[in-house]
Every structure is written in structure tokens, then in C-alpha cells.
Amino acid sequence: MESAALSDQHHRRLERRVDRIQEKLPDSMARVLAWLREPRATWVRVPAGLLLILGGLFSFLPVLGIWMLPLGLVLLAYDVPFLRPPINRALVRGERRWKEWKRRRRAASSSS
């Protein structure tokens, strides 16, 4: 019982984090992400997540990039409950680092 409640809590946290990311995307990409997040898109989300992870592992090749790895993991976290806690932590950490980087960049440009 507690495990299901905890899994739901992690899912809600993942939803909130991905909502924030989706708000910052261009409209066309946001629509695709919104569609992939729907429950009925599991048949596309899981293979897409696996392909993105595989592409991220081959990031040394042209066109493929390391950006594919975290995106694939986020997509898989929707359907694989044990991935949700570490993905949530990684999203929080990434958001904090992004804000800190922007703050330092702003401070450096204003002091110049």
C-alpha cells in the first residue's frame, strides 16, 4: 500500500518537473511532448525512450548527441516506476545548476 502511494508521489513530482520543461519548449516540441506524456502513448514512449538512450550512448557519432540520454530516461520513467526517484533527483539537480549558471552568467555580463 505504501509503495503504491510513494510511486504515485514520485509520478506527480515527475509530472511537475516535466511540466516546467514543457512550458519552456517551442510550441511544436511542446505538443509532441504533451502527446508522448499521455497514458495511451505508452506504445510509442517506451520504444522512443529506448532508442533515445541507445542514441545517447553513441553520442560520438554525428547527429546523435548526449542530449538523447536524459530525454530517453525521462520518457522511460513514465512507465518504469523504479526510475522515477533518480530521474526526479536528476531533474531537480539540473534545474538548480541551470539557474546557478544563468545567475553567474548575468553577474559576469553586468560587471563587464
Please give the model's pTM, rounded to 2 decimal places: 0.80
CA 18 to chain centre: 6
Pick out the chain residues at pLDDT < 50. Answer: none
Specify the DSSP element, H or E, that contains 75: helix 68-77
**Tens digits of residue pLDDT in 2-26:** 677 777 888 899 999 999 989 988 9
Distance of alpha carbon 100 from the chain centroid: 19
pLDDT for 2? 63
Q: How far apart are the first and last CA of the chain?
A: 57
- Strand residues in 1-112 grouped as ranges (E): none
